[in-house]
Structure 1
Amino acid sequence: MEEKVYNVLFLCTGNAVRSIMAEALVATMGNGRFRGFSAGSHPAGSVDPLALEQIRPTGYPLDQLRSKSWDEFAEPGAPEMDFIFTVCDDAAGEACPYWPGHPITAHWDVEDPAAATGTEEHRRAAYHQAFHQIRARMGIFVSLPLHMLEKNAIHQHVTDIGRAAA
């Protein structure tokens, strides 16, 4: 029997840093079991270069990453999502579009590294910390035996992942 490939959408306000990192990480860490997508409520229009710097070592094709509106995923013909995670408090508090298929949702807040000030080294460290936090959560998520769990148990697991300190 062929294993199901899960579609996972990561939401943030600008879709330039955290949701982009998560999109790349779920795809690269998921061993073909997950397809990652990302979007924003108010997309920045471009991907942050310091985010790309963190993603580059994963081998994810950087040219596939773009800042886009979450409305793209609510349109007819869009991929149906199995999971939707917000990775910033602002997006978690906004009224989201209707998502067909009743995906499992959870909030995985990650501090915005783009808000870091100070030296270039300090700013890069903030991006590295955010990337590390997302990667740690992703490691737990992609190792869940999703095919063996019922929907309520999966929802509880993904919610717990977002509450855990990285």
Structure 2
Amino acid sequence: MTTNVLILCTHNSARSVLAEGMLNHWAGVLGKDVRAYSAGSAPSGRINPHALTALQAAGISIEGYRSKSWDEFTGDSAPDIHIVITVCDNAAAEQCPYWPGKPVKVHWGYPDPSNASEDQKASAFELTRQALGYRMLQLLAHPLNELDSSEVQAILSHISKT
């Protein structure tokens, strides 16, 4: 069974997209049956070009990324979500919709790389991509589809402290 992970950030334009890209990349490299998605409560309608550049520079295809609403993941045709990760402070404080199946939730906050000065933006996005990638590797080190929700919650909580 595929473990579906939904990564949320308010505008779904940078951090959540970087996290989606890194989790899907590492899951593919490691042969893990994990699928990441990203969304936002108030999607901007566009992906920050610096996020796409950071993914592309890491050898990750940027095809198919788009800024989308978390509403796409609440309907009958949506994938069953097992884990919800918020990566920005605004999304952590927002009231999330009801997710069928009661997914495990965690907040892994990252500063918004979009707020960096223009001459530091590329570096800020790259550092955010690396930090997210590191946490995704930690997550994938566990047999997620063999664990119950309390075990997954403990793993996510432990990773949030690293």
1:163 maps to 2:161: yes
Q: Which has the higher contact order (CA 8 A, sep 6+)?
A: 2
Q: Alpha-carbon deviations, 1:10-68, whole Å to 9, x = none? A: 00011000000111111110134111100001101000110001111444431210001
1:106 maps to 2:103: no
Q: Alpha-carbon deviations, 1:124-164, whole Å to 9, x = none? A: 11111111110110110011122443321210111221222
Are the counterparts in 2 of residues 25 and 58 from structure 1 also a CA contact under 8 Å?
A: no
* Superposed counterparts of 1:76-115, under 5 Å: 76-115=76-115
Q: How many residues align?
A: 159
* Superposed counterparts of 1:7-156, under 5 Å: 7-31=4-28, 32-117=32-117, 119-120=118-119, 122-156=120-154
CA distance, structure 2, for counterparts of residue 34 and residue 149 of structure 1? 13
Are the counterparts in 1 of residues 3 and 145 from structure 2 also a CA contact under 8 Å?
A: no
CA distance, structure 2, for counterparts of residue 89 and residue 136 of structure 1? 20
Q: 1:130 to 1:100 in 2, by over 3 A?
A: same
AA aligned to 1:132 is Q
TM-score calculated relative to the size of structure 2: 0.92
How many percent of aligned residue pairs carry the same amino acid?
A: 36
TM-score calculated relative to the size of structure 1: 0.90
Runs of 4+ in 1 over 4 A off after TM superposition: none
Q: Which runs of no fewer than 5 residues in structure 1 stay unpaired?
A: none
Q: 1:149 to 1:76 in 2, by over 3 A?
A: closer
Are the counterparts in 1 of residues 9 and 41 from structure 2 also a CA contact under 8 Å?
A: yes
CA distance, structure 2, for counterparts of residue 39 and residue 151 of structure 1? 22
Are the counterparts in 2 of residues 43 and 68 from structure 1 also a CA contact under 8 Å?
A: yes
Are the counterparts in 2 of residues 39 and 70 from structure 1 also a CA contact under 8 Å?
A: yes
CA distance, structure 1, for counterparts of residue 12 and residue 146 of structure 2? 32
Q: 1:63 to 1:148 in 2, by over 3 A?
A: closer
CA distance, structure 2, for counterparts of residue 16 and residue 42 of structure 1? 10
Q: Which runs of no fewer than 5 residues in structure 2 stay unpaired?
A: none
Are the counterparts in 2 of residues 27 and 36 from structure 1 also a CA contact under 8 Å?
A: yes
